[in-house]
Amino acid sequence: MHILEEEIKNVFFRNPEILERVVKKLIDKKMIDLTRRLTSKEAAKYLNISVKTLDNKCSNGEITYFKIGKKREFEYKDLIVYKKSKENIYPSLN
C-alpha cells in the first residue's frame, strides 16, 4: 500500500465521522446513486458471484429483484443488506 493510502486509511480509522461526512457528500452530490437499479451483471459483480449464481439466488428467493420484461433489476440497498447478511464476523483473539 502506498504511504498516502495508508495515511488516509489511518485518518478514517481514527475519525470515522470524517468518512461518514465524505460518503454523505458523495451521495448528496449524486456521485453515488443508491437509488439506481443495477443489472444482473452489475449486481453479480458487486456481490462477487457469477450471474448464474445470482440467477439461482433469485429463483430461491434469497435476493430481492424487479422483473422488467425479461430482465432483472436490483436495488443497491437490497444488495447491501444481502451482502451484510452473508458476512462472517470472527471475534478477535486479542
Question: Does 50 share its domain with 19?
Answer: no
Q: What pLDDT does residue 33 have?
A: 63
Question: Does 6 share its domain with 38?
Answer: no
Q: What pLDDT does residue 53 have?
A: 96
Return the bridge partners of 73, or none.
66
* Structural domain includes residue 13: yes
Question: Does 22 share its domain with 41?
Answer: no
Q: What pLDDT does residue 42 have?
A: 93
Q: What pLDDT does residue 60 have?
A: 94
CA distance readout (Å), 38 to 15, 76, 77: 31, 7, 10
Torsion angle (degrees, nearest 10) of CA 11, 12, 18, 19: 150
* Structural domain includes residue 6: yes
Q: What pLDDT does residue 36 have?
A: 78
Question: Does 7 share its domain with 43?
Answer: no
* First-last CA distance in the chain: 25
Q: From CA 94, how far away is CA 91, in angstroms rounded?
A: 9
Question: Does 38 share its domain with 84?
Answer: yes
* Structural domain includes residue 17: yes
Q: From CA 87, how far away is CA 31, in angstroms rounded?
A: 26
Q: Where are the alpha helices (DSSP H) in 1-86?
A: 3-14, 16-28, 40-47, 51-59, 76-85
* Structural domain includes residue 93: no
pTM above 0.75, yes or no: no
Question: Does 81 share its domain with 39?
Answer: yes
Mean pLDDT per 10-residue interval, the chain, length 94 residues: 74 80 72 76 94 96 92 91 81 68
Q: Which domain holds residue 27?
A: 1-32
